C-alpha cells in the first residue's frame, strides 16, 4: 500500500495560498467595511489614472486663475472657494483648481507608492526567501545588511542626493528607486522568518527528497505559502511609501514644482491652515482614506490567505 503524501504541520497548507485572486475576492466580500474600502481604492486609482478626464469634466485645469482670488490672495468665497466650478476650492495665491491638483497629485503619489512597494517587495521576497532557505554565510550577510539599512537615515541620504542631482532629473524615478532600496529589509526580515519555518515542513522536505532544486522549492513550495505575509507587508508599505514621498517633498527633495503630488500640496497647505483650512483638508483626507483602505483590505486578504483563520478553507 502506497504511503500517503506528506502533510505539513498544523497551521500551514501547501495549497492554502495558491489561488490569490480567489482569496482577494473572498476578502473583498468578507464584510461591508472591507467592500467599502476596496471600492474606495478602486475609485482613487481611477481618479489617478483618469485625472485628465475628471478635471476636464469639472471644466478646470492646472492653470493659475487669479480671478478666483480675493484681494489678499486667498480664495474668494467660503470654504476655500468651493463651488460648482471648483469642487475642492482653489489654491491660495495662484487660484489653481484644487480638485485638479488632488487628482493629478493622486497619480504622482500612487505611482511613487506603488512603484517603490513593488521594487521593495520583489527584492525583499527574493533576498528573504534565499536567506531563510539557503542559510549559512548568505543568511548572515543578508541579516547584517538589512540591519545596517534599517538603521541608516535615508532622509539624510535623500537630502544629500537631492542636492547633487540636476533639477531636470526625474525625481519620481529617483524616489521609487531610493524608497525601494531602503524598503526591502522590512520585507526580507518577515519573509526570511517565514521561510525558516516553512523550510522545516514535511512538504518542503519531500520536495527536496524527490529531487526538487532550490528554484522548484522556491516557486512551488515556499512562495505559494508566503502570499499572506507578502500581501500584508505590501499593503502596509504602500501608504508608508506615499507618506515617505510626502515627507521628502516637504523637505524639498521629493517631487518638485510644477509636478503636483499630495505630499507637496499638503506641505504647502500647512502655511495656510489658519486662513484656508480647506486647502489642507482635501489632499490630507485623500491620503488618509487611501492609507486606511489599503490597511483594511490588506488585513482582509491576510485572513483569507491564512488557513488558521478559516478564510482559505
Reported as a pLDDT band with limits 50, 70 and 90, residue 72 is confident
pLDDT of residue 46: 93
Instruction: Report the C-alpha gap between 256 and 254 in whole angstroms.
Output: 6
What is the average pLDDT across 301-312?
61
292/77: higher pLDDT: 292
What is the average pLDDT across 243-248?
78
What mean pLDDT is reported for the chain?
80
Instruction: Report the C-alpha gap between 224 and 13 in whole angstroms.
Output: 9
Instruction: Report the C-alpha gap between 231 and 181 in whole angstroms.
Output: 19
pLDDT in tens, 144-200: 999 898 888 877 888 788 777 777 778 888 889 988 999 999 899 988 888 887 777
pLDDT in tens, 11-62: 334 444 446 677 777 778 888 888 999 999 999 999 999 988 988 888 888 8
47/216: higher pLDDT: 47
Instruction: Look at residue 7 and tell me whether its pLDDT is greater than 90.
Output: no
pLDDT in tens, 115-143: 999 999 999 999 998 888 788 899 899 99
pLDDT of residue 303: 77
Instruction: Report the C-alpha gap between 170 and 135 in whole angstroms.
Output: 38
pLDDT of residue 152: 83
What is the average pLDDT across 243-261?
77
Beta bridge pairs of residue 75 = 69
Instruction: Look at residue 63 and tell me whether its pLDDT is greater than 70.
Output: yes
pLDDT of residue 12: 39
pLDDT of residue 121: 93
CB 62 within 8 A of CB 96: yes
Residues in the chain, overall count: 313
DSSP run (H or E) holding 192: helix 171-198
114/248: higher pLDDT: 114
What is the average pLDDT across 267-287?
85
Instruction: Look at residue 241 and tell me whether its pLDDT is greater than 80.
Output: yes
Instruction: Report the C-alpha gap between 108 and 171 in whole angstroms.
Output: 11
Of all residues in the chain, the percent with pLDDT exceeding 70 is: 88
211/179: higher pLDDT: 179
3-state DSSP helix/strand/coil percent for the chain, to nearest 5?
70, 0, 30
CB 187 within 8 A of CB 121: yes
pTM: 0.78
pLDDT of residue 124: 92
Contacts of 305 (CB under 8 A, 6+ apart): 16, 17, 20, 23, 227, 228, 231, 311, 312
Instruction: Look at residue 3 and tell me whether its pLDDT is greater than 60.
Output: no
Closest residue by Cα to residue 54 from 5, 98, 99: 99
- Assigned C-alpha cell, 189: 526580515
What is the average pLDDT across 239-259?
77
pLDDT of residue 4: 45
Q: 223-257: b or e for each residue (b if 16 or more CB lie within 10 Å)?
A: bbbbbbbbbbbbbbbbbbbbbbbbebbeeebbbbe
Amino acid at each position: 500500500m502506497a504511503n500517503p503524501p506528506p502533510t505539513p504541520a498544523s497551521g500551514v497548507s501547501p495549497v492554502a495560498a495558491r489561488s490569490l485572486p480567489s482569496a482577494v475576492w473572498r476578502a473583498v466580500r468578507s464584510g461591508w467595511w472591507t467592500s467599502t474600502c476596496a471600492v474606495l481604492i478602486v475609485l482613487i486609482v481611477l481618479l489617478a489614472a483618469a485625472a485628465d478626464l475628471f478635471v476636464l469634466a469639472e471644466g478646470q485645469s492646472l492653470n493659475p486663475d487669479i480671478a478666483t482670488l480675493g484681494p489678499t490672495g486667498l480664495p474668494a468665497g467660503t470654504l476655500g472657494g468651493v463651488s460648482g466650478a471648483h469642487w475642492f476650492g482653489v489654491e491660495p495665491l495662484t487660484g489653481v483648481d484644487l480638485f485638479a491638483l488632488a487628482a493629478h497629485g493622486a497619480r504622482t503619489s500612487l505611482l511613487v507608492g506603488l512603484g517603490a512597494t513593488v521594487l521593495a517587495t520583489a527584492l525583499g521576497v527574493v533576498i528573504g526567501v534565499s536567506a531563510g532557505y539557503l542559510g549559512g554565510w548568505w543568511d548572515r550577510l543578508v541579516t547584517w545588511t538589512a540591519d545596517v539599512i534599517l538603521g541608516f537615515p535615508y532622509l539624510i541620504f535623500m537630502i544629500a542626493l537631492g542636492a547633487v542631482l540636476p533639477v531636470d532629473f526625474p525625481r519620481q524615478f529617483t524616489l521609487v528607486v531610493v524608497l525601494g532600496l531602503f524598503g526591502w529589509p522590512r520585507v526580507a526580515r518577515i519573509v526570511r522568518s517565514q521561510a525558516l519555518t516553512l523550510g522545516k515542513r514535511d512538504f518542503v522536505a519531500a520536495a527536496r527528497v524527490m529531487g526538487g532544486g532550490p528554484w522548484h522549492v522556491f516557486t512551488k513550495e515556499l512562495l505559494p505559502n508566503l502570499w499572506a505575509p507578502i500581501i500584508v507587508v505590501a499593503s502596509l508599505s504602500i501608504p508608508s511609501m506615499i507618506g515617505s514621498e510626502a515627507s521628502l517633498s516637504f523637505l524639498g527633495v521629493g517631487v518638485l514644482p510644477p509636478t503636483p503630488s499630495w505630499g507637496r500640496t499638503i506641505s504647502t497647505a500647512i502655511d495656510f491652515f489658519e486662513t484656508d483650512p480647506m486647502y489642507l483638508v482635501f489632499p490630507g483626507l485623500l491620503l488618509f482614506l487611501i492609507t486606511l483602505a489599503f490597511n483594511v483590505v490588506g488585513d482582509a486578504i491576510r485572513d483569507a490567505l491564512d488557513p488558521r483563520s478559516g478564510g482559505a478553507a
